[in-house]
Amino acid sequence: TQKTWLITGASRGIGAEIAKAVLAAGDKLVATVRNQTSCQQQFGTTEDVLTLSMDVTDEVQVKAAIATALEKFGQIDVLVNNAGFGLLGAVEECSAEEVESVYRTNVFGLLNVTRAVLPSMRQHRSGHIINISSLGGYRSYAGWGIYCSTKFAVEGITEALHGELA
């Protein structure tokens, strides 16, 4: 059965590799990125691909993108929360703006997308959520305290969701 995958941060890295595997398996892809043009060139413009500009930190934009994806494909079977970035610097050296920025994307962005997709999954009584974390979600390292703390948060959210959605 063909599944519909929504992948955040699909333009490069792990997100792009997962997107390629989704298409190779014959599934449908909703690729969300900040720069839509580069992603359309990468994945094409077939009926099975929808590329959307979406900043995970903008809740209004997230809701609109999810509504567009649901309108086109009817449901989202697999959500891959991949969008995120690292912040290298000692805890005392990272500015409040830098810390807030990485939390906005890595934690609050993941929550925005998850909250927007879950009502449809509940309605269909099916779906999978894959939250991309890091070894840094289990163990922190000097210079990576802020980044790792966001991944610790992702681990906690994921554990709670597992119980809540069971």
Among 2, 8, 12, 67, which Cα is nearest to 42's? Answer: 12
Among 77, 63, 84, 72, which Cα is nearest to 22's? Answer: 77
Q: Which of 11, 120, 149, 151 is catalytic?
A: 151
Q: Which of 120, 133, 134, 149 is catalytic?
A: 133
Catalytic-residue membership of 140: no
Q: Which of 28, 120, 147, 149 is catalytic?
A: 147
β-pair partners for 31: 7, 51
Give 15's contacts (C-beta < 8 A, 6+ positions apart).
7, 8, 9, 31, 80, 82, 83, 132
d(CA 6, CA 9): 10
Catalytic-residue membership of 63: no
d(CA 113, CA 55): 10
Catalytic-residue membership of 149: no
Catalytic residue ranges: 133, 147, 151
